[in-house]
Amino acid sequence: MEEATRSIVRDYERSRATSPHPASEERYRRIWRWDKVVWGTHTVDCYPGNCPMRVYVRDGKIVREEQAGNFPVIERGVPDMNPLGCQKGVCWSQTIDAPDRLLYPLRRAGERGEGRWQRVSWDDALTAIADSMLDAIQENGPESIIELLGAEGVPWNMVGLGRLFRMVGALVTDVNAEINDFSPGLYLTFGKFNLCSSLDDAFHSELILIFQANPVYTVMASYHYMVEARYNGTEVVIFAPDCSPSTQLVDYHLPVKTGTDAAWALSMCKVIIDEGIYNATFVKEQTDLPFLARTDTGHFLRESDLKAGGSDEQFYVFDARSKKVVEAPRASLALGDVDPALSGRYDVTLANGTRASVTPVFELLREHLKAYDPESAAKICGVHPDQIRRLARKVATKRTGVWAGGTSLKYFHGDLMVRSLTLLLGLTGNWGRKGTGIGCWSIGMFDGLMLLAQKEQPGPDATREFLAMRDGMIAALRAEDPTRTEEMCRIEMVCRMAGLGGMIPPAFFWYRHCGYRDNWNRKEWGDPTMARPFDDYMREAMEKGWWTDVALPQQDVPPRVLIQAGGNTLRRVRGGQNMLLTHLWPQLNTIVTMDFRMSTTALQSDFVLPVANHYEAPRFHIPSPHMLTLIYSDRATPPAGEAKTEWEIARLLAAKLSERAKARGFSAYQSKRGMAYDLSDLTRRFTLGGTLITEEDASEEMLRDTVICGTIPEGTDLQAMREQGYLRFTDWGISPFAINQASDLKSDETHAHSRWHVEKKLPYPTLTRRAQFYIDHDWFLEAGEALPVHKDNPKMGGDHPFVLTSGHNRWSVHSMNTTNPLLLRTHRGQPHAVINTDDARAHGIADGDEVRVWNDMGEFFVPAKVAPNVMPGQIIVYNGWEPYMFRNWRGPMDIEPGLVKWLHLAGGYGHLRYWALQWQPTPVDRAVRVNIARSDARPA
């Protein structure tokens, strides 16, 4: 305690003794008392989350929680991260015994979704589930069992259920497609989508551009850095169609038409190139813009063009110094004596003796950008030409960071928007320095967690053995190609292992088994520049083997058992109930939801298994480079009712599978992919020989392994975490996601990603080994997307006059807080659709009226909230509401067709290949076309 505080406390002790109102005051003093305090957080997929809290317990009951607020200052002159936490987090304690809390295993007693339940024992529930899983395995192979990897409940989902399902051969879907949080635009450019700088790094920016984001809703706990930067002289500019809350707290709001951000970004690129204010050194060294492309085919000039048997991955520049076409270095970005030309046309002699004309991509770009003069761009996007010019000049001269919101991941052409913004940063040298760059989200550093999902033997020696084997593989990959960086070797390793039983990209599941094939082929909903039916692209992708081993389940394997743990697929999957209940549900023999609360998916399940809530079990939050901390959440009280932890559920299910398999004389089998499984010894294998029985055991193992991997201090164990709650990582460790950050991790500085590329000249993990703006894949050339371009939103859902947009809501992390009674009282207690005042008047809609919203997919009903802050023609229904909060349990998610962009099936091209969380098609939901009317105006 500081001296001033001590002195105040002493004074108060004295004055309290003489208070004329002792009894009345004492009543309140007692309310604030507690008898136990433990560390806690919410290990949900709240990103970046990681808010350290203290959980206060009185008389054996959790009474409340409060942010810990003891983060140290990391970098002098940069505000600290305190207090971290939001309204959801500071009343999580209210969910412990809330009306939606699940306390006992339930078995469906009526029709699915009818709301009739029979309370059953854990043993009965697990016996029935195990039997159904065994039936599925025997009849259709283990690929007919699917766990939808929900975003919640990590990490125990991954190390518990994930570990079990891997041992059984069941499929686990890639969470990044499930939640649509993959950034194809960043991936195309950098060969990794998961760049992120630490939250506090924004304070170093001189200019911050926010687009496709409403951070006031989405990153409450760190929004203060925007304001602090602003107070420090940073100019904060937001592009948004609506006057969202975030647009009110910045220096400039530039209204932009929905889904047109590529236009202003490309126009700024044009201004910068035309005015010659681009950073030529950065462009030549860090990007593929100096690379030569053939003017006849549009492809890069490759060694295979010049020499028979030449490489497809060796590219060229024209050296202005030697006046020669020379190889672009692959092992480093450093150019040495070479000065690549950014303009001009050159002739080369091809391997077959003919001549071809080549030109730097920069020259193609200059030509391409002619369509984007500020006046023309303004017509597309609505941003005034003066603002485009003014801002372009600022970006070129100021330390600029871009805040790309999650909405950019959820537009059909979001990849083009992100590529365009990234191009703007590339032209101006705006990444790889503090306060610059563009990012998304990432995991990493908690290596013990990933190890535990895979380990077969307990203890540090087994870990060291595992690491030695891994080092051997990395060395072999480097020997294969000595120009590979450590980052590239790690990616190569996980790519090659992707087919061995990790996550699968769920696009193929949706396409084959959930009815999405029709939606994705529907021409009038799709993009007019898609030259062929979606099926053609799918067929080509399959024939060329671009998704071999991960395109699962196979067409002839019907899904039979669905496990939803820590997720709410009927809320989350675009098209939701209209697609899944119609196409998937009838095929399923058994649907199991594990959750701490009653979700819509739980209501439509056959079994509902109660899981420990936060504060009821030892857990870790998934760490992120945004935070760089490992955060522990302790067990403040035992799980309520008969709820169990995920680890225990997985362990009991493992035992039950062995027991029931033995009873039917069946244990060993092969998957359709030819991998061998054996259920006879599952418990021993799952618990690593009986050493990991409880979460505490598993936690100790994960911490010890993480220490061995070098990312947390020596001696960190569960007791240490219980005492200190969280700690800062000291290094990146063995994960590819961590090394993707490509910067040294320093204890006393903010983290800015990509510094190794810029400072150490380490190449990028892309086909061209540069930040790649030119994608000469045949499909991209066919679509006119080799360079980033603006394309209009397709008419998803049909030709209707309004665009339905959404966004992360303010009142819930995902759907799990939408039913917290306390939070329900902080708004209108129901979902709502925000409708522009003039539109509402034209449609005879008053504030609070129920409206019908419909398109070709279906309809839903929702109360209107009328406000001038949405763009005319736009309707906003924020995401996250439980479907059962809408009439008929149908909400906006149910009329989103869930389209994926056909180009994201592309492969056979350098970095365009699947690895966990990375390159894969993900459904979009923004700017779906709808119509509205007052619900009582519905035609009979």
Give the helix/strand (H/E) hosting 106. strand 106-108
Q: Tell me if 296 contacts other proteins by CB under 8 A.
A: no
Nearest approach in angstroms of CB 194 to other proteins is 25
In this structure, what is the dihedral angle of CA atoms 158, 161, 166, 169, given to the nearest 10 degrees? -140
- Residue from the set 59, 665, 825, 939 that interacts with other proteins by CB under 8 A: 825
Give the helix/strand (H/E) hosting 355. strand 355-360
Nearest approach in angstroms of CB 10 to other proteins is 9
Q: Name the region of 748 (left: φ>0; alpha: ψ -120 to 50; beta: rest).
A: alpha
In the numeric block, which tokens belong to residue 789?
């371009």
Nearest approach in angstroms of CB 110 to other proteins is 6
Residue 698 neighbours by CB under 8 Å, 6+ apart: 159, 160, 452, 647, 692
- Residue from the set 223, 264, 278, 403 that interacts with other proteins by CB under 8 A: 223
**DSSP H helices in 371-430:** 374-381, 385-397, 414-427
Decide whether 2 or 347 has the Cβ nearer to other proteins.
2
Only one of the segments 41-49, 227-235, 551-559, 919-927 lies at the binding site for other proteins (rule: CB under 8 A); that segment is: 227-235
* Cα–Cα distance, 359 to 351 (Å, whole number): 18
Nearest approach in angstroms of CB 271 to other proteins is 16
- Within 622-661, the residues that bind other proteins by CB under 8 A are none
Decide whether 790 or 865 has the Cβ nearer to other proteins.
865
- Within 364-403, the residues that bind other proteins by CB under 8 A are 378, 382-384, 386-387
Nearest approach in angstroms of CB 557 to other proteins is 30
- Residue from the set 124, 127, 135, 252 that interacts with other proteins by CB under 8 A: 252
* Cα–Cα distance, 657 to 384 (Å, whole number): 64
Nearest approach in angstroms of CB 390 to other proteins is 9
Q: Tell me if 727 contacts other proteins by CB under 8 A.
A: no
Q: Tell me if 748 contacts other proteins by CB under 8 A.
A: no
Q: Tell me if 227 contacts other proteins by CB under 8 A.
A: yes
Q: Tell me if 263 contacts other proteins by CB under 8 A.
A: no
Q: Tell me if 94 contacts other proteins by CB under 8 A.
A: yes
Nearest approach in angstroms of CB 880 to other proteins is 14
* Cα–Cα distance, 35 to 26 (Å, whole number): 17
Q: Tell me if 920 contacts other proteins by CB under 8 A.
A: no
In the numeric block, which tokens belong to residue 142?
């283990």
Cα Rg of the chain (Å, integer):
28
Decide whether 889 or 919 has the Cβ nearer to other proteins.
889
For residue 899, the number of C-alpha atoms closer than 13 Å in the C-beta half-sphere is 30
φ/ψ of residue 884, rounded to 5: -75, 5
Percentages (nearest 5) of helix, strand, coil residues in the chain:
40, 15, 45
Q: Is 2 exposed, middle or buried (0-12, 13-18, 19+ CB in 10 A)?
A: exposed
- Residue from the set 819, 879, 920, 922 that interacts with other proteins by CB under 8 A: 819
3 state DSSP class of 728: strand
Q: Tell me if 67 contacts other proteins by CB under 8 A.
A: yes
- Residue from the set 233, 309, 665, 939 that interacts with other proteins by CB under 8 A: 233
Q: Tell me if 202 contacts other proteins by CB under 8 A.
A: no
- Residue from the set 224, 393, 728, 934 that interacts with other proteins by CB under 8 A: 224
Q: Tell me if 741 contacts other proteins by CB under 8 A.
A: no
Only one of the segments 77-85, 164-172, 331-339, 687-695 lies at the binding site for other proteins (rule: CB under 8 A); that segment is: 77-85
* Cα–Cα distance, 840 to 845 (Å, whole number): 5
φ/ψ of residue 468, rounded to 5: -65, -40
Decide whether 64 or 761 has the Cβ nearer to other proteins.
64
Query: What is the x/- site pattern for other proteins, positions 320-359, by CB under 8 A?
Result: ----------------------------------------
* Cα–Cα distance, 756 to 703 (Å, whole number): 28
Q: Tell me if 4 contacts other proteins by CB under 8 A.
A: yes
Nearest approach in angstroms of CB 369 to other proteins is 21
Length of the chain as a residue count: 940
- Residue from the set 60, 61, 97, 99 that interacts with other proteins by CB under 8 A: 99
Q: Tell me if 59 contacts other proteins by CB under 8 A.
A: no
- Within 6-35, the residues that bind other proteins by CB under 8 A are 6-9, 11-16, 18, 20-21, 23-25, 27-29, 31-35
Q: Tell me if 723 contacts other proteins by CB under 8 A.
A: no
Classify the C-alpha dihedral 60-62-64-66 as positive or negative. Answer: positive
Decide whether 249 or 652 has the Cβ nearer to other proteins.
249
- Residue from the set 60, 61, 70, 465 that interacts with other proteins by CB under 8 A: 70
Q: Tell me if 243 contacts other proteins by CB under 8 A.
A: yes
Q: Tell me if 440 contacts other proteins by CB under 8 A.
A: no
Decide whether 256 or 445 has the Cβ nearer to other proteins.
256
Residue 840 near residue 894, CB atoms below 8 Å? no
**DSSP H helices in 141-277:** 156, 162-168, 175-178, 184-190, 215-218, 224-231, 261-274
Nearest approach in angstroms of CB 862 to other proteins is 11
Nearest approach in angstroms of CB 464 to other proteins is 37
β-partners of residue 294 are 358
Only one of the segments 180-188, 790-798, 823-831, 906-914 lies at the binding site for other proteins (rule: CB under 8 A); that segment is: 823-831
Number of H helices, E strands in the chain: 34, 32
Q: Within its chain, how far is the Cα of 857 from the centroid?
A: 26
Long-range contacts of 711-715 (CB under 8 A, 24+ apart): 711/445, 711/446, 711/447, 711/738, 712/630
Strands (E), 544-623: 561-565, 590-595, 607-610, 619-620
Q: Tell me if 688 contacts other proteins by CB under 8 A.
A: no
- Residue from the set 127, 138, 232, 332 that interacts with other proteins by CB under 8 A: 232
- Within 471-530, the residues that bind other proteins by CB under 8 A are none
Q: Tell me if 250 contacts other proteins by CB under 8 A.
A: yes
Nearest approach in angstroms of CB 259 to other proteins is 17
**What is the CA angle 338-186-343, rounded to 5?**
30
Nearest approach in angstroms of CB 88 to other proteins is 8
Decide whether 430 or 874 has the Cβ nearer to other proteins.
874
Residue 444 neighbours by CB under 8 Å, 6+ apart: 623, 624, 625, 732, 733, 735, 737, 738, 739, 740, 741
- Within 828-857, the residues that bind other proteins by CB under 8 A are 828-830, 834, 836-838, 847-848
* Cα–Cα distance, 769 to 311 (Å, whole number): 14
Count the neighbouring beta carbons within 10 Å of the beta carbon of residue 103.
14
Q: Tell me if 111 contacts other proteins by CB under 8 A.
A: yes
- Residue from the set 826, 841, 846, 908 that interacts with other proteins by CB under 8 A: 826
Give the helix/strand (H/E) hosting 207. strand 207-211
Query: What is the x/- site pattern for other proteins, positions 572-611, by CB under 8 A?
Result: --------------------------x----x--------
* Cα–Cα distance, 396 to 417 (Å, whole number): 19
Q: How many residues contact other proteins, by CB under 8 A?
A: 124
Q: Tell me if 54 contacts other proteins by CB under 8 A.
A: yes
Nearest approach in angstroms of CB 645 to other proteins is 23
Nearest approach in angstroms of CB 620 to other proteins is 20
* Cα–Cα distance, 754 to 762 (Å, whole number): 9
- Within 862-891, the residues that bind other proteins by CB under 8 A are 865-872, 882, 884-889
3 state DSSP class of 60: coil
